[in-house]
Structures are given as C-alpha cells and as structure tokens.
Structure 1
Amino acid sequence: MDEFKVTSPITLKNTETKLVIKTAKKELKAFRKQLGDLQNTMYAHNKYAVLVCLQGMDTSGKDSLVREVFKDFNVRGVEVHSFKVPTEQELSHDYLWRHYLVLPERGKFGIFNRTHYENVLVTRVHPEYILNENIPTVNTVDDINDAFWDRRFQQINSFEKHIAENGTLIFKFFLNLSKEEQKHRLLRRLNKQEKQWKFSPGDLKERKLWDDYQNCYEDAINRTSKPHAPWYIIPADDKSTARYLVAKIIYDTLLTYTDIKEPELEDDVKENLALYKRQLRSE
C-alpha cells in the first residue's frame, strides 16, 4: 500500500480518484475484525495511541468510512471527534488547543473526522475567518500573508512531531474525490428524502471554490507528509474501495510494530494458574 503514501511532492490533478477493487467489501470485513482485535492487544500493551485523521471535500465519504471501518471495535477503544466552526470558548485559546484536548489515550484509537488541517484549509480559502481568533499580530486580512501560513504549517508539524515522539501513531488520509463524483453525490442527497437533511445551499457555494480547495490541500499535504505522520491519498470515488484501503493501511502498518503484544504474566502468577483454576472450580 506504499503507492498511496506521500513520500515526495505530489500534484493532486495527477492522482487517482477512480480505483475499484471488486473484493473490497469482502476483504474489509476481515480487516476490521482484525483491527478490533489488535486494538484490544494495544489496550493491554498500553504504550501506543493511534490517531486517524480524515480529510476530504464534502461528500468524500468520511462519516460512512468511520462507520464501516471501525464497527467491530470495542466502543470503549475508539473515539470520534469532528471539528467544525470553533466555539466561543475554543476561540479564546490557540487554534490547536481543542485538538490537544481530545487526543487518544494510550491503547486507544482517536479519529479526527475533519482535523487540525481545517486551520490551513477552510481558513486559507476564507482568510477572514482567522480574524475571529484574535491573534495579536493579525488585525486585518492583509496581515495573513505567506509568512503567516509558513508559521502555521511549522506549528502543525511541531504538534504532530511532539505527539509522535510520545507514543501516538499518526495516519492521515485524504479521501481524493473527483468533482464529477461530488456532483452525483450531492444530487443523490437532494433526490433522497432521508438524505436531504445533509444538504445545505452552502455546499454549492463551497463547490464553486473547488480549485482553491484543491490547491490548499495539495500544498498542505506536500508540506506536512513526514515519516512520523505520513499522508495517504486514497481514491474515494468508490466508497468500498476507499474503506478497504484505509483499513488495510492501518492494519498492515500496525503489524510492523512487533513490540505490540499482551504483557506477560508475572512468574509467580503463571506458576499458580492451575491452583487458581482449582480454587474457582471448587466453589
């Protein structure tokens, strides 16, 4: 699965969106069960946390991917957080504060469905949103220049390096959706009554900014794909394939950490296992 990992500069318009793996649904069932079992082992091991970051254009399938990939997890072993418009309290802190608060504990998976990268994507397309952060050096949109974004990318890289060095395994997935497929999915939302609640006229306004978003994603991915926090560009026009690829990448990568195993029983406990069994059976 290394072909999906970003290890050198990429151009999004040259990346695949339309990959179909016919066995994806069947193979996903096996991988998600294995992932759930592995999380139980990681909980006992208590050394690593896993942070899964999902980004993509609207309708790219983030919500359904979370549902399908992690459905066999113990519910206590995985937490999902979606970062939308910052609250008043969140705006009274620096922009990374709310992300630090919900990082996964050791032994658990955390999923960021929309992530700290919103702070260099949405705000870069709409720089006026930055003014709500009340940053001392930013008084007008004119103050949000290239140097500002350089600093913010450096801060994000430092954030990820810090948590990686302290035991968090980071996976960052960009669900790479074509503009044509997004149109079909938006139309399905409008045509299915049970899906219409998901639609907002704002979706169409943001769609007109497609090229701006693609440019920002491309720059963000190229600046922040690091060995300790790599980006994977996942073809997302076929949802089943995208889900399978994400599950397989996570599982295959975690298997390379050969130290992840249940802790050994202490010698005196191990030596007396037969005794403990007899005690219980004799009750």
Structure 2
Amino acid sequence: MKINPKEFSVKEGDDVDLGKWPTTVDASYKSKDDYHRLLEEHVSKLSALQQLHYASDRYALLLIFQAMDAAGKDGAIKHVMSGVNPQGCQVFSFKHPSAAELQHDFLWRTTRNLPERGQIGIFNRSYYEEVLILRVHPEILRSEAIPNAPSDEKDIWRDRYRSIVDLERHLHVNGTRIIKFYLHLSKAEQRKRFLERIDEPQKNWKFSLADIAERKFWGNYMKAYEECITATSTSRAPWYVVPADDKKNARLIVSQIILDRFEELGMSYPKTTDARKKELIEIRKQLTN
C-alpha cells in the first residue's frame, strides 16, 4: 500500500471522534524484509534532506509526538530519525513539571527548547500535556496557581487552545514548520504491550503500577485528545492521527509524512558567489602548492 499522508491528517475545523479513526490499516510493507528495506530508504532520504535543511538555514522543523502509554513514541523517534546527523537534531521529553517550571506560564518549559533554523527539534510529549493530562488530573492544574483563574475549567482549556494556536501561528510566520503526530493505539493493543513488558525481562523497566492507574482513565484521555486535536489542528500545523497498533507501519507512515513536509519546503543549497569562487580557487592553489 502506498502511503498517502493526507489520509491521516486532520483538517482545520474537523470535529474529531477518535472512535471513527482506525488504529490499524493495511500494511504498507509486504514482509519484515520489505519493511526494513522501505524504512532504510526513508531514513536515507531523510538524512539527505536534513543535510540540505541544515545547509539552507531557512526553516526550523518541530516534530511533536503525543500518545497513550506504549503507543511507540520512543520507537518511532529512534527508528525514523536513526540516520539524521545528531548535530542537526535534538530530542526533548517532557514529564511532570518541576517546581521551577511551575513558576512560569504553561508554555515556558517547552518553548525555551524550540529548534533553531536549520535544526530539527523533537518533542516527546509537549506543551499539549497542559491540555491533556491536566484535564484528566485537575489537581496538577491547581498546583500551577493560576492567578484569577476562571471558575469554569472549560474557559481555561479554551484559553489554552487559543494560546497554543497563536504560538504555532507565530512560529510558522517566523520559519518554524510544525508536524504533530498522535499515535492512535487501541486499548486492547496497549494491554498486549503491557503484558509483554511484564513477561520479557528486558522490558520490565518500561512498566510501573502508575501505567495501570492511568489506563483506568482511558475514556477521559480519549475525550481530552478529541477536543484538543479538534481545537488545534490547523492548515499551518495539522495533526496526523497515525494508526499505531502495527509499530512498523506507524514508523513508515511517520517517516513518509516528514519526507513529504520536507520536500514541500523547496530547499536548495546556498549559491556560491563570484567572490567565494575566487576565494576557493586561491585556497586550491595553496593546497596544491
């Protein structure tokens, strides 16, 4: 199956019902060997485009990954970005805010890690946690001590959605291109992966009782994700709902979306000026002599 990124994008204004979005689709690979061949092809193209991205120094690229536990965020980042030069790429993970971070506005701890032009920034979880986990666990919201907080929490989320959309618009206008991935995992597949983490000793470290506790809030999280994606998917910074029950297929979909977005930028290597050509000729003379 040829991957068409548009099949997974959420259009601006769409009312998202995740129950209608598939967690699995026909695989884009025919066998395990075919998967490795396709992924290697994607990674090679990404490596070349990342080098061009770095040299052209026109845009910054921000990749945001959000998902339920065990959906494969870490694996997607590891496999898809495996060929990218580490000098041009940084990964940041965001968990529970620290005491210092709670003293700032809700966007501060993530925006200070935004990528520079020519760089790729990857957020493994992001400022979207502030309208996801906080909706499910409002006690965390109270710890932020928002002055003059609205009495109705709906107003808080509405304000935060607006702040996020305004931020992403500002970043886009100033050269940052944003791609947002929601890895869409089924509850049954999460259960299967949790059991694997228990049964396979090398995966025990990935699992804790807290994961099971969060699983009890599955319905609450789905509602939070639906409202968040509905409110913040725009033509400039769309959400992609990637079926994640098949990890291999999810990685190929993610890499194809990144490739397509890179190619849309129309990048080129800086042109060499006449003065620079003369300088290079002089350097060559010195080296050959």
TM-score range, shorter chain: over 0.9
Which TM-score applies when normalising by structure 1?
0.95
Where do 1:100-139 residues align within 5 Å? Answer: 100-138=111-149
Q: Does 1:9 align with 2:31?
A: no
| CA RMSD of superposed structures (Å) | 1.4
Q: Which is further off, 220-229 or 6-15?
A: 6-15
CA shift, 1:45, in A, is 1.1
Instruction: Find the aligned partners of 2:284 and 2:73 in 1 and give their Cα distance.
Output: 47
Q: Does 1:265 align with 2:272?
A: yes
Q: Does 1:281 align with 2:288?
A: yes
Where do 1:104-253 residues align within 5 Å? Answer: 104-138=115-149, 143-253=151-261
Structure 2 portions without partners, runs of 5+: none
Question: Aligned partner of 1:267: which letter?
Answer: D
Instruction: Find the aligned partners of 1:63 and 1:70 in 2 and give their Cα distance.
Output: 11
Question: Aligned partner of 1:15: which letter?
Answer: W
Structure 1 portions without partners, runs of 5+: none
Is the Cα–Cα contact under 8 Å of residues 46 and 107 in structure 1 kept in the other structure? yes
Secondary structure, counterpart of 1:47 in structure 2: coil
Which TM-score applies when normalising by structure 2?
0.93
Instruction: Find the aligned partners of 2:280 and 2:242 in 1 and give their Cα distance.
Output: 48
Which residue in the other structure is 1:91 paired with? Answer: 102
Question: Aligned partner of 1:2: which letter?
Answer: K
Secondary structure, counterpart of 1:143 in structure 2: coil
Q: Does 1:54 align with 2:48?
A: no
Instruction: Find the aligned partners of 2:285 and 2:213 in 1 and give their Cα distance.
Output: 70
Runs of 4+ in 1 over 3 A off after TM superposition: 271-276
Question: Aligned partner of 1:86: which letter?
Answer: P
CA shift, 1:194, in A, is 1.4
Over the matched positions of the two proteins, sequence identity in percent amounts to: 41
Is the Cα–Cα contact under 8 Å of residues 127 and 144 in structure 1 kept in the other structure? no
CA shift, 1:271, in A, is 4.8
Question: Aligned partner of 1:250: which letter?
Answer: I
Secondary structure, counterpart of 2:100 in structure 1: helix
Question: Aligned partner of 1:10: which letter?
Answer: V
Is the Cα–Cα contact under 8 Å of residues 25 and 244 in structure 1 kept in the other structure? no
